[in-house]
Amino acid sequence: MGSLQGQNVVVVGGSRGVGRSIVEAALSEGATVLAVARGADALKELSWEASGVKTLVADATQEVAPDAVFAALEPDVLVICAGAFAPSAPIQDQGWDEFSANWEMDVKASFLFCQAALRGRLKPGSRVVLISSGAAFSGGPPNSGGYSGAKRMQLFLAAHSQKEADRLGLGLRFMALAPMRIMAGTGVGQRGISGVSAYLGISPADFLASMTDMQTPADVASAVVTLAAGKMKGTAFTVSGSGLAAAA
């Protein structure tokens, strides 16, 4: 029997990349899984290839998104993996809309769903996992705009939400997970590899060769399953090629 047998898992941003890996891992652990994304075509492809997954087309940055998602499936485990591409230009060449893209997507989606949970939309015992990034600790490259700050805010948001849940006696668990290395083979990862290597004036292959201790999307998915089991204390965690760990 899987560790998520009989539980409902909702993955916002679940149609591609890391989100899709989390969907597949949750299904393999016996969960009922709802994948939420903006792209109907990607969700249709997922439903063909991942037997049993439920899907919902929704924009996670809309105020009504939590209501629509929770009406489709009330989660025991809610994973917020939706995110925009980071900018890929020197800061002086970015407009505010480009610089703030990850605040308007990654942070806003996390905020809306954490807020809904704190307002009583999730039952006691539910767990919320926000997918952050190692850039929250390193600061990221100068061409990534507000990306690193947005991913750091997700760590703060999980901690703030946990304090409020404890103060209100809601019985909820909030966590943020930061994959520490860029991941080839994902949309965000490939975009980042191209942008950073161009900024540094090296080839993508040379940039990747400089990276060590790299995790895969499957490693991130495995970490989410472990966190969903609720056996690790804290609100901030990292995952790398060395495995899952509490953030320092």
Rounded-to-integer distance, Cα 20 and Cα 33, Å: 11
| pLDDT value, residue 14 | 96
SS (H, E, C) the chain: CCCCCCCEEEEECCCCHHHHHHHHHHHHCCCEEEEEECCHHHHHHHHHHCCCCEEEECCCCCCCHHHHHHHHCCCCEEEECCCCCCCCCCHHHCCHHHHCHHHHHHHHHHHHHHHHHHHHHCCCCCEEEEECCCHHHHCCCHHHCCHHHHHHHHHHHHHHHHHHHHHHCCCCEEEEEEECCCCCCCHHHHHHHHHHHHHHCCCHHHHHHCCCCCCCHHHHHHHHHHHHCCCCCCCEEEEECCEEEECC
| pLDDT value, residue 230 | 86
Low-confidence ranges of the chain (pLDDT < 70): 1
| pLDDT value, residue 34 | 98
| pLDDT value, residue 142 | 86
Residues 52-77 pLDDT 10s: 999 999 999 999 999 999 999 999 99
Rounded-to-integer distance, Cα 117 and Cα 157, Å: 12
Question: Burial level of 157, CB count in 10 A (0-12/13-18/19+)?
Answer: buried
| pLDDT value, residue 205 | 84
| pLDDT value, residue 1 | 58
Which residues, listed in sequence order, are joined to residue 179 by a DSSP beta bridge?
239
Q: How many CB atoms lie within 10 A of CB 220?
A: 26
Residues 6+ apart with CB under 8 A from 200: 141, 207
Contact 74, 8 (CB under 8 A): yes
| pLDDT value, residue 113 | 98
